[in-house]
Structure 1
């Protein structure tokens, strides 16, 4: 196996892991918003932008705390 193939496989594994984590992270974000955790704390913890946090929360029917 050459480097290109090895890196391609590594990328696929990382992508699969991200696909597994993303819905759990979204659920945790919504839970934190429902608990009225400040949005700036959620942003700091996740690395997502404030707008992305809003999108995730609104999709779940929750308005994030400012």
Structure 2
């Protein structure tokens, strides 16, 4: 009877360890996601400035779209916000 109890207790301890490891991995993933989001936010401003600069220099909108991966409407929005039509 104690063999069954020991096996069940061992299985429970292992499950607790796995849960703790999963929680730690989740916390790390949350931190990595937050850091990546911060990097994206920091890169948006310089990208918008470069888009406006390119538009003012006469680069075609289709080329800006191709390079940035933004759609035409987003490029237009950025340019309009900077006073470039």
Q: What TM-score, normalized by structure 2, do the two folds share?
A: 0.72
Q: Could you say which structure has the greater relative contact order, defined with CA pairs below 8 angstroms and 6 or more residues apart?
A: 1
Q: Secondary structure at the match of 1:2?
A: helix
Q: Report how many aligned residue pairs link the two structures.
A: 63
Structure 1: gaps spanning 5 or more residues: none
Structure 2: runs of 5 or more not aligned? 1-22
Pairing of 1:23-62 with structure 2 (within 5 A): 23-62=45-84
- Structure 1 stretches of 4+ moved >2 Å: none
Q: Output the CA distance in 2 between the equivalents of 1:57 and 1:39.
A: 10
- In structure 1, the residue matched to 2:43 is 21
Q: CA RMSD in A?
A: 0.9
